[in-house]
Structure 1
Amino acid sequence: MAAPISIVIPTLNAAANLGPSLSALSDGLFEGLVAELIFADGGSTDSTAEVADEVGARLITAPRGRGTQLAAGCAAAHGEWLLILHADTQLCANWTQAVRDHMNTKPDCAGWFRLRFNTSSPAGRLVAGWANLRARWFGLPYGDQGLLVRKSVYRAAGGYDEVPLMEDVALVRRLRLSPLDAVANTSAERYERDGWLRRGWRNLTTLALYYVGVSPERLAARYVSVK
């Protein structure tokens, strides 16, 4: 049986973060789960292309913007399943079993990982806990939590919108969801740089504005301007 999963990672000058993330994916290769690795790149000027060449990843270029990049990367994927991960997200050791269980039992649902930040900060545990509750209660996992979805289900849902922000929320609202019994560790760098409370509040208000109809383009401009 051919390996079923295409892993798609949006990249933009992400070479410094890719090492741990890619190392965590090696179990999927050894176990015959991963068919291909795709970097959906938005015009990196660092060594992302060299990293892709070293690890045998396909480099798909697209206009900058996570939604646009992910739409292009997923469109180019050959696997029966898509596993979408951020460049600074590292899956835990038992991720392959959780993914197998999901594919075997819930093929019509999209799966997401429990979020954990790579920090010992109590604020990090609090923010991750809220994110996991939001995903479970309201069906709103963010991109940091990864997404496992059968390609036919992804296409039926319309795929990623080619927007600069909220592409993850827009897609999951059109999917049936089920949590994966595994953890995704993601970088706390942005929260520690901006402040946990400040960045958390900005994320929450951005989501609220999106729900009342503010366009992703306006939200992206606001997101960048609020420093």
Structure 2
Amino acid sequence: MISVVIPTYNEEANIAACLVSLCNQTLPRERYELIVVDGGSKDRTREIAAEYADQVFIQTSKKVGGARNDGAKAAKGEIVATTDADCVIPTDWLERIEADFARHPDVVQVYGLVYPKEKNLKHSISLALANFFSRLGSWTHSMYYTLGCNTAFRREAFIEVGMYRCIDAGDDLEIARRTREVGTVFLDTSLRVAFDMRRYEQFGTLKSLWEWIYIVVRGGNTEKYSYSKREYK
């Protein structure tokens, strides 16, 4: 079984589309479960999610990484996949993840690429750069750039290495540095999800990238900027 973990916070405008895409997978529904871990939403996120997900509960750990960890602890599957509440998932996503782990017994983490939900040249260029760094990690077997919206783990290995760090940013950047110590980290370039660019649209591409870099360089936490529970228009 595959357990899909989706962290949420005030996502009533996006969570249904995400979960519908996950319910319409080519993998039979009985072979995966959907776990929504909510950060205390003030809107109808949990109510909407309950219509589609197998489990919906409020996180007890901090930050987005902590929500993913809470979901992994509650998971029934041998594989834990993670995505974001504002992403839209292709129908063969879970089938590809299952096949990747089946074909490569040494693999402990699988990750993929992203493309923008919003059709915009600037956004396409931004994510092309992100995808380049994702590929660079695979080529060099270091400097991994594994986005939490499109990755999956063998649950046992994920727990063994300590799961995600509970930080504001960079948790999905550094996790592969630890998982590669217990197995292979594998990039599947055909594994793609539609990534929401609302942060870049609302706050600007350069400002958003600068904030992310600033937080990561300072170890994932800083009082100046916060990625957690960001409010969007």
Please give the range of the TM-score, normalised by the shorter of the 2 chains.
Answer: 0.7 to 0.9
Change (3 A) 1:34 1:128: farther
SS at match of 2:174: helix
Report the CA distance between 1:151 and its aligned residue: 0.5
SS at match of 2:14: helix
Q: Which residue of 2 aligns with 1:114?
A: 113
Tell me, yes or no, if structure 1 residue 12 matches structure 2 residue 9: yes
Whether the aligned pair in 2 keeps the contact of 1:65 and 1:165 (CA below 8 Å) is: no
Q: Which residue of 2 aligns with 1:184?
A: 193
Tell me, yes or no, if structure 1 residue 132 matches structure 2 residue 131: yes
Report the CA distance between 1:29 and its aligned residue: 7.3
SS at match of 2:77: coil
Gaps of 5+ in 1: none
Report the CA distance between 1:205 and its aligned residue: 3.9
Query: C-alpha separation between the residues in 2 aligned to 1:109 and 1:215?
Result: 25
Change (3 A) 1:205 1:56: closer
Query: C-alpha separation between the residues in 2 aligned to 1:137 and 1:30?
Result: 30
Query: C-alpha separation between the residues in 2 aligned to 1:130 and 1:74?
Result: 29
Query: C-alpha separation between the residues in 2 aligned to 1:21 and 1:48?
Result: 12
Query: C-alpha separation between the residues in 2 aligned to 1:86 and 1:123?
Result: 21
Change (3 A) 1:179 1:68: same
Deviates further, 192-201 or 121-130: 192-201
Report the CA distance between 1:27 and its aligned residue: 3.2
Q: Which residue of 2 aligns with 1:223?
A: 225
Equivalent of residue 172 in structure 1, options 155, 162, 176: 176
Query: C-alpha separation between the residues in 2 aligned to 1:34 and 1:42?
Result: 27
Report the CA distance between 1:32 and its aligned residue: 4.1
Query: C-alpha separation between the residues in 2 aligned to 1:77 and 1:94?
Result: 21
Equivalent of residue 143 in structure 1, options 148, 162, 169: 148
| Structure with greater helix percent | 1
1:140-177, Cα deviation, whole Å (9 max, x unpaired):
12223x21111012112211223343222232221232
Tell me, yes or no, if structure 1 residue 153 matches structure 2 residue 157: yes
Q: Which residue of 2 aligns with 1:82?
A: 80
Change (3 A) 1:35 1:120: closer
Whether the aligned pair in 2 keeps the contact of 1:68 and 1:164 (CA below 8 Å) is: no
Equivalent of residue 24 in structure 2, options 24, 27, 40: 27
Q: Which residue of 2 aligns with 1:103?
A: 101
Gaps of 5+ in 2: 138-143, 228-233
Query: C-alpha separation between the residues in 1 aligned to 2:148 and 2:23?
Result: 21
Please, what TM-score do these two structures have when normalized by structure 1?
A: 0.85
Please, what TM-score do these two structures have when normalized by structure 2?
A: 0.83
Query: C-alpha separation between the residues in 1 aligned to 2:84 and 2:225?
Result: 19
The one-letter amino acid of 1:140's match is Y
SS at match of 1:217: coil
Report the CA distance between 1:206 and its aligned residue: 3.3
Q: Which residue of 2 aligns with 1:45?
A: 42
Report the CA distance between 1:46 and its aligned residue: 1.0
